[in-house]
């Protein structure tokens, strides 16, 4: 599949489903256990599919072990631990707004670290998309925005967004292997690094082993947000770069709201529709600028 727009639509749809799955996971499985088991599920699927290709690429991958370990530990495990932990101490509105910083990190990082040129229309597109996300997160209420207060949970989300932006930008330096093989090579690092917070959670008595519903959530997040979305994201970044792919991530909370309406019976209001239009318009502006260039 080589159509970047379709790839990123699927990525953000699966990530939007992850937000709903996170709500369903409350009291069904604890955050560190969920993080560990989602990567175990993803690894159990991808490693048998790619073991021949991994064996062929082993000499190249061994030379990049530190890079692979950092990508799995920071981009996968640490990101998810920060995100899931923040959900316990800050509001969903704050999380949605702060998460919108990730495309900005990608644009700024691409300019500062990689020397990429970011045109005015791309910044304008990012701004329009961010306004759309504000409409979704605030419920269309200026009073709700004015009443926002920020705490250390929001700093966790900000750190998680910066980490994932760094992961996305670093994909330009990944080993010269296919997306499936690269993903399979970093999943073991995610699993190993996730053992530490899962062990701490167990030792502190805060771990909650998955219920039947918790296992269903684990299977979903292991297959769709962890496996398919990550592989599709890798391919999209390969095709159009991290900065352009990153702007599509503003669709995630809009898809999340729509899926919550369908699956959880939550209301889908005019502000969600307005947010969707603004996010799509912002992406369209940025894509127009990039394609003109």
Burial 55-88 (b: 16+ CB within 10 A, else e): eebeeebeebeebbbbbbbbbbbbbbbbbbbbbe
Instruction: Tell whether the model's pLDDT for residue 137 goes beyond 70.
Output: no
Poorest-pLDDT segment among 25-29, 86-90, 198-202: 86-90
Closest to 99 measured CA to CA, from 110, 84, 116: 84
Distance (Å, rounded) from C-alpha 240 to C-alpha 8? 11
Which residue would you say has higher pLDDT here, 196 or 96? Answer: 196
Instruction: Tell whether the model's pLDDT for residue 118 goes beyond 60.
Output: no
Distance (Å, rounded) from C-alpha 217 to C-alpha 37? 10
Closest to 256 measured CA to CA, from 165, 91, 133: 133
The two tokens of residue 241 are 């770069």
The two tokens of residue 187 are 């999943």
Closest to 220 measured CA to CA, from 251, 178, 263: 263
Average pLDDT on 220-228 reads: 93
The two tokens of residue 181 are 């093989």
Instruction: Tell whether the model's pLDDT for residue 112 goes beyond 60.
Output: no
The two tokens of residue 22 are 């996170």
pLDDT digits (tens, 9 = 90+) for 29-41: 888 899 999 999 9
Q: HEC profile for 217-233?
A: HHHHHHHHHHHHHHHHH
CA of 52: how far to CAs of 48, 67, 134, 166, 227, in Å?
A: 9, 21, 46, 30, 19
Asked if 122 contacts 293 with a C-beta cutoff of 8 angstroms, the reply is no
Dihedral sign, CA of 84, 85, 89, 93? negative
The two tokens of residue 235 are 């391919």
% of the chain surpassing 90 pLDDT? 34
In this prediction, residue 182 carries a pLDDT of 94
Instruction: Tell whether the model's pLDDT for residue 127 goes beyond 90.
Output: no
Confidence of residue 250 (pLDDT cuts 50, 70, 90): confident
If residue 148 lies in a helix (H) or strand (E), which one and from where to where? none
Question: Residue with structure tokens 């771990």?
Answer: 207
Confidence of residue 288 (pLDDT cuts 50, 70, 90): low
pLDDT digits (tens, 9 = 90+) for 151-177: 677 678 778 888 888 888 888 889 989
Q: Helix 270-292 and helix 251-264: axis angle, to 10°?
A: 150
Distance (Å, rounded) from C-alpha 260 to C-alpha 16? 9
Asked if 271 contacts 151 with a C-beta cutoff of 8 angstroms, the reply is no
CB atoms within 10 A of CB 200: 12
Closest to 208 measured CA to CA, from 21, 26, 86, 20: 26
pLDDT digits (tens, 9 = 90+) for 259-280: 766 766 666 666 666 666 666 6
CA 54 to chain centre: 25
DSSP category for residue 172: G
pLDDT digits (tens, 9 = 90+) for 44-81: 999 999 999 999 999 999 999 999 999 999 989 998 88
pLDDT mean across residues, the chain: 79
Which residue would you say has higher pLDDT here, 114 or 238? Answer: 238
Confidence of residue 26 (pLDDT cuts 50, 70, 90): confident
Which residue would you say has higher pLDDT here, 183 or 139? Answer: 183
The two tokens of residue 72 are 């799995």
């Amino acid at each position: 599949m080589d159509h970047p727009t379709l790839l990123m639509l699927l990525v953000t749809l699966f990530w939007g489903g992850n937000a709903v799955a996170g709500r369903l996971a409350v009291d069904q499985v604890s955050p560190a256990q969920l993080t560990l088991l989602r990567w175990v599920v993803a690894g159990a699927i991808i490693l048998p599919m790619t073991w021949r290709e991994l064996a062929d690429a082993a000499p190249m991958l061994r030379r990049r072990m530190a890079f692979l370990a950092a990508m799995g530990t920071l981009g996968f495990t640490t990101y998810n631990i920060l995100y899931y932990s923040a959900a316990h101490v800050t509001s969903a509105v704050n999380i949605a707004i702060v998460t919108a910083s990730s495309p900005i990190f990608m644009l700024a990082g691409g300019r500062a670290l990689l020397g990429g040129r970011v045109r005015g229309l791309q910044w304008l597109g990012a701004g329009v998309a961010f306004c759309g996300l504000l409409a979704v997160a605030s419920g269309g209420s200026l009073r709700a925005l004015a009443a926002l207060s920020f705490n250390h949970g929001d700093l966790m989300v900000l750190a998680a967004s910066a980490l994932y932006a760094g992961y996305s930008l670093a994909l330009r330096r990944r080993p010269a292997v296919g997306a499936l093989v690269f993903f399979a090579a970093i999943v073991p690092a995610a699993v190993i690094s996730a053992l530490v917070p899962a062990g701490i959670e167990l030792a502190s008595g805060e771990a909650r082993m998955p219920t039947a519903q918790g296992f269903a959530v684990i299977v979903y997040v292991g297959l769709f947000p962890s496996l398919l979305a990550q592989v599709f994201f890798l391919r999209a970044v390969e095709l159009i770069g991290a900065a352009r792919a990153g702007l599509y991530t503003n669709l995630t909370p809009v898809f999340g709201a729509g899926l919550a309406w369908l699956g959880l019976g939550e209301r889908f209001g005019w502000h969600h529709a307005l947010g969707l239009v603004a996010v799509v318009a912002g992406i369209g502006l940025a894509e127009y600028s990039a394609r003109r260039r």
